[in-house]
Amino acid sequence: MPYPCLAHVAKLPRILTAALTLAGIALSLPLTAHAQTETTIYNFANTGPYAPQTGPVMDKAGSLYGVTPSGGTGSNGVVYKLTPVSGGWQESVIYTFTGSTDGGRPSSTPIFDASGNLYGTTEYGGDINSSNCYSVGCGVVYKLTPTSSGEWTETTLYAFTGGKDGGFPVTGTLVLDAAGNLYGSNIGGGNLTTQSCQNTTGCGVIFQLSPVATGKWKISLLHTFTGGGDGVGPAGLVFSPSGTLFGSAAGAWSGWELPSRPGLIFQLTPTASGPWTDTVVYAFKGGVDGGLPTPPVFDHAGNIYGSGADGGILNNCWSGYGPMGCGVVFKLSPTAGGQWKETTLYQFTGGSDGNQPDGGLVFDKGNLYGTAWSGGAPSGQCPGSGCGVVFELKQQPGGGWNETVAHSFVGTDGSIPESKLVMDKAGNLYGITSSGGAATGGVVFEITP
């Protein structure tokens, strides 16, 4: 199977080989943590190497929904629900995947539409007869519809073939527009003849799914990546305030899963004639500006914020292949000339402040919150490297940003917090760790100010 290794594109910072040059910058030092309380609200059983890797989503009633890529009948993954009850949270499985036409190994945080339906993607399953996917299927887009009895009905909206339509929607979350169209990214497929990507298995695509009168969904390809200046392996999408699509991608391939450039932010703009135009907003250099960016977030003024799991302080943080940098938080501001100016807001040191922030960011009244999958306080379960942190970046009156560690994991409360956080109306943060906890299978946690 060539594609199972593609699942690790989202974790590229951990295997990056490029040795980069250290550049100096004035750093904002981490401050003493605010008074915040971490609570483990659910412990996952240790069902194998595929613990939860993406964060939950919250419905209007305050229940959390998420996926695990294994578990359930046949260990093909489930969609779970956590309902707040007196004294805690109650877990239930609302759908179990079979690994067949309905998909297998759900790989992204699901999203809600206005009617309460859930949409998401699976890495495998679907068209299990496709020659491009070695009989495991290239993944699907699914819909879960609640019924009056409390059950959920699953519908496969589209099964990828691994050809021109792409395959393996591993990274990123679907986005939904006002007309009910879905947008997403595949890290594989597209142009299978290029020599630039994954041994001719394609560099990935951006797709749109539109409902049609027959009840089916029509796929349209917005961009097919080449592995050149436009990048490879898109990692997720977001709508800008003006309604265009932005996303992040790895830079290019120099070999099997090894990027030769540290990634970029791109923009997709519809044209009057129909095709979408792909524009590179910013190409990271892998130095103080960071690299391997997560999907961006916007403020009300149209500025982009994101975290890069590579770059920043080099030589402090190493993989098994060499120096890689501890990661950064960055800002991209539009300029009058149509270009974007990059500002590095914070460089992680790999110590108590965290290392490799690859979960993405959320906003709260101008403050930024995110996760770093290692670093923090060393513990018996995570000696030396730390089990990861939840961090906050707060803008100072002078314009600089200071980092605060909201929580440092120690293993028993979880380890490897590698997903984006979700925030409720009261300012509480929720997220997952993909390891640790009472049963070592990861946890869902809450952080309360």
Q: What is the mean pLDDT of the chain?
A: 85
Query: Is the pLDDT reported for residue 50 higher than 90?
Result: no
Enter the DSSP assignment of 77.
-
225-239 pLDDT, tens per residue?
A: 988 889 888 988 999
Are residues 153 and 179 part of one domain?
no
329-365 pLDDT, tens per residue?
A: 999 999 988 899 999 999 999 999 999 998 999 998 8
Under a CB-based contact definition with an 8 Å cutoff, are residues 247 and 238 in contact? yes
- 117 three-state secondary structure: coil
198-216 pLDDT, tens per residue?
A: 555 788 999 999 999 877 8
* Residue 135's pLDDT band (cuts 50, 70, 90): confident
Query: Is the pLDDT reported for residue 321 higher than 80?
Result: no
Residue 211 lies in a domain: yes
Are residues 192 and 105 part of one domain?
no
Residues of the domain holding 253: 173-290
Under a CB-based contact definition with an 8 Å cutoff, are residues 422 and 58 in contact? yes
Residue 355 lies in a domain: no
Are residues 196 and 115 part of one domain?
no
C-alpha distances in Å from residue 339, one per residue of 152, 158, 163, 245, 262? 46, 36, 34, 16, 19
Backbone angles phi, psi at 131, to 5 degrees: -70, -20
For residues 143-156, average pLDDT? 95
C-alpha distances in Å from residue 404, one per residue of 275, 347, 432? 44, 13, 19
- Answer with the one of 290, 312, 327 that is the final residue of a domain: 290
More confident residue, 366 or 61: 61
Under a CB-based contact definition with an 8 Å cutoff, are residues 303 and 333 in contact? yes
Q: Please tell me the distance from the alpha carbon of residue 257 to that of residue 277, in angstroms, as a whole number.
A: 27
Query: Is the pLDDT reported for residue 258 higher than 80?
Result: no
Whole-number pLDDT of residue 252? 65
- Answer with the one of 158, 192, 227 that is the final residue of a domain: 158
Q: Please tell me the distance from the alpha carbon of residue 375 to that of residue 373, in angstroms, as a whole number.
A: 7
Are residues 187 and 120 part of one domain?
no
Are residues 285 and 184 part of one domain?
yes
Query: Is the pLDDT reported for residue 41 higher than 90?
Result: yes
More confident residue, 311 or 95: 95
Whole-number pLDDT of residue 274? 77
Q: Among 240, 171, 253, which Cα is nearest to 206's?
A: 171
Are residues 281 and 213 part of one domain?
yes
For residues 36-65, average pLDDT? 87
Burial class (CB in 10 A: 0-12, 13-18, 19+), 402: middle
* Residue 47's pLDDT band (cuts 50, 70, 90): low
Whole-number pLDDT of residue 87? 86
Are residues 123 and 206 part of one domain?
no
Burial class (CB in 10 A: 0-12, 13-18, 19+), 445: buried
For residues 142-150, average pLDDT? 94
C-alpha distances in Å from residue 214, one per residue of 66, 178, 218, 252? 30, 20, 10, 40
Query: Is the pLDDT reported for residue 117 higher than 90?
Result: yes
Residue 248 lies in a domain: yes
Residue-level length of the chain: 449
Under a CB-based contact definition with an 8 Å cutoff, are residues 295 and 108 in contact? no
Query: Is the pLDDT reported for residue 14 higher than 80?
Result: no
* Residue 196's pLDDT band (cuts 50, 70, 90): low
Residue 428 lies in a domain: no
Whole-number pLDDT of residue 92? 94
Are residues 147 and 74 part of one domain?
yes
When divided into structural domains, the chain yields a total of 2
374-422 pLDDT, tens per residue?
A: 999 888 788 878 999 999 999 988 888 999 999 999 999 999 998 999 9
Query: Is the pLDDT reported for residue 28 higher than 50?
Result: no
Burial class (CB in 10 A: 0-12, 13-18, 19+), 271: exposed
More confident residue, 369 or 107: 369
C-alpha distances in Å from residue 107, one per residue of 218, 236, 339? 22, 12, 34
- Residue tagged 């509480």 (tokens): 428
- Answer with the one of 158, 193, 227 that is the final residue of a domain: 158
Residue 204 lies in a domain: yes
Query: Which range among 5-14, 78-87, 307-316, 341-350 shows the weakest confidence by mean pLDDT?
Result: 5-14
Instruction: Classify the phi-psi angles of 327: left when phi > 0, otherwise alpha if psi is within -120 to 50, otherwise beta.
Output: left
- Residue tagged 């929720």 (tokens): 430
Q: Among 77, 157, 68, 70, which Cα is nearest to 118's?
A: 157
All residues at 6 or more sequence positions from 264 whose CB lies less than 8 Å from its CB, including other chains: 230, 231, 248, 249, 251, 280, 281, 282, 283, 284, 293
* Residue 73's pLDDT band (cuts 50, 70, 90): confident
For residues 4-12, average pLDDT? 43
Are residues 137 and 114 part of one domain?
yes
Under a CB-based contact definition with an 8 Å cutoff, are residues 185 and 171 in contact? yes
Whole-number pLDDT of residue 429? 96
Are residues 186 and 153 part of one domain?
no
Residue 133 lies in a domain: yes
- Residue tagged 């699976």 (tokens): 122
- Residue tagged 């964060």 (tokens): 55
Residue 265 lies in a domain: yes
Q: Please tell me the distance from the alpha carbon of residue 84 to that of residue 88, in angstroms, as a whole number.
A: 6
Are residues 149 and 77 part of one domain?
yes
Are residues 271 and 182 part of one domain?
yes
All residues at 6 or more sequence positions from 100 whose CB lies less than 8 Å from its CB, including other chains: 125, 128, 137
Alpha helices (H) along 196-273: none
Q: Please tell me the distance from the alpha carbon of residue 183 to that of residue 272, in angstroms, as a whole number.
A: 19
For residues 265-284, average pLDDT? 91
Query: Is the pLDDT reported for residue 11 higher than 80?
Result: no
More confident residue, 34 or 295: 295
Q: Of all residues in the chain, what percent carry a pLDDT higher than 70?
A: 86
Q: What single-letter amino acid sits at 141?
A: V
Whole-number pLDDT of residue 132? 81
Residue 194 lies in a domain: yes
